[in-house]
């Protein structure tokens, strides 16, 4: 029972980790993209459609990532190319992604696909309780690899240092000859690809069908996780498991017949998100190490 509960928590946290990792890289470059929810929905519907047509969930992974990246390209075009407000554009992107994914996915409602298989690591999967961490799918294992590579890239490579410098002070980075807009565009596209993967995980692993709005606010939780983790990659993993645990707690509570109203249990993950954001706002973002030029528009002519 405990093994199954832990496995469910881990699986629930995977889409949060994927989406939050991509948003972390984008924010490290100084871009605040509030359209994560929309990108995840586009990734989910594209992954389901690709897997349904091709019969291969692996092609669904690629389709989901590319759909998220294409949606992020729209955001980059407006915020970086046309210098629009990042907050307003991000909110518009979420509305756009929600509506477009619902339109594209309308013919897919009621269909079902075969999801990704589990890969059990011999011997390790037999360990009591902790063995659940070795009974995952390829995207879950790859999720940890991507976090590791992201942490290494940001802290131990010259390119990562340049990306972080752009987020700290884009004017100084521009004065040194670094292409600020190109760096930010690549970071936003990476963030979209990761958000698309996070959305793809939902129909490919958690629920093998398409439903409009199936992300159910996970994009907003991913945004909160970036701040919760103080813009540190491994902090995202801990935060995602925590939020995943809260989500599973409300399901377990309903199964055990808790007298608490089910509506209250369902709102627990989002209530926790609000508390985190309020706490962070009260301390100030600089206290947590936010990039100094996060959300600021860059004008190369200045």
The CATH number given to whatever domain includes residue 99 is 1.10.3470
Q: Is residue 296 part of a domain?
A: no
188 inside domain: yes
What is the structure's pLDDT at 180? 94
* Residue 35 burial (10 A CB sphere; 0-12, 13-18, 19+): buried
**For the chain, how many structural domains are there in total?**
1
Place of tokens 């995202």: 236
Model pTM score: 0.90
* pLDDT for the residue numbered 302: 55
Domain that holds residue 50: 2-288
Residues 54-96: pLDDT tens digits?
Answer: 989 999 999 999 999 999 999 999 999 999 999 999 999 999 9
pLDDT in tens, 10-28: 888 999 999 999 999 999 9
Query: What percent of the chain clears pLDDT 70, i.e. is strictly above it?
Result: 86
More confident of the two residues 260 and 69 = 69
Most confident of 24-33, 214-223, 292-301: 24-33
Tens of pLDDT, residue by residue over 175-204, are 999 999 999 999 999 999 999 999 999 999
In a domain, residue 146? The reply is yes
Residue 208 to residue 204: CA distance in whole angstroms: 6
Please, what is the average pLDDT of the chain? 87
Q: What pLDDT, in 10s, does the model give residues 116-151?
A: 888 877 776 777 767 777 788 899 999 999 999 999
Task: For residue 300, tell me if it sits in a domain.
Answer: no
For residue 52, pLDDT beyond 70: yes
Report residue 232 as tokens.
């540190």
């Amino acid at each position: 029972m405990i093994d199954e509960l832990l496995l469910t928590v881990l699986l629930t946290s995977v889409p949060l980790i994927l989406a939050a990792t991509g948003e972390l890289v984008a924010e490290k470059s100084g871009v605040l993209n509030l359209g994560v929810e929309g990108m995840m929905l586009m990734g989910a519907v594209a992954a389901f459609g690709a897997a349904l047509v091709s019969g291969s969930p692996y092609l669904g992974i690629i389709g989901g990532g590319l759909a998220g990246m294409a949606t992020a390209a729209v955001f980059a075009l407006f915020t970086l190319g046309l210098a629009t407000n990042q907050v307003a554009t991000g909110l518009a992107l979420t509305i756009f992604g929600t509506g477009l994914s619902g339109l594209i996915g309308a013919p897919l409602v009621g269909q079902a696909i075969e999801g990704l298989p589990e890969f059990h690591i011999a011997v390790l999967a037999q360990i009591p309780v902790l063995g659940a961490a070795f009974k995952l799918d390829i995207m879950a294992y790859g999720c940890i690899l991507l976090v590791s590579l992201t942490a290494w890239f940001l802290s131990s490579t010259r390119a990562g240092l340049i990306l972080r410098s752009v987020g700290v002070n884009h004017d100084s980075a521009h004065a040194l000859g670094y292409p600020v807009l190109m760096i930010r565009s690549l970071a936003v596209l990476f963030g979209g690809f990761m958000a698309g993967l996070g959305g793809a995980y939902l129909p490919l692993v958690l629920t093998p069908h398409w439903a409009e709005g199936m992300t159910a606010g996970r994009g907003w939780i991913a945004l909160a996780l970036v701040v919760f983790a103080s813009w540190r990659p491994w902090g995202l993993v801990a935060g995602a498991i925590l939020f995943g645990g809260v989500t599973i707690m409300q399901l377990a509570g309903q199964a055990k017949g808790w007298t608490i109203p089910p509506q209250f249990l369902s709102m627990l993950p989002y209530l926790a998100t609000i508390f985190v954001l309020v706490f962070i706002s009260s301390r100030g973002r600089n206290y947590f190490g936010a990039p100094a030029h996060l959300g600021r528009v860059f004008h190369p002519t200045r």
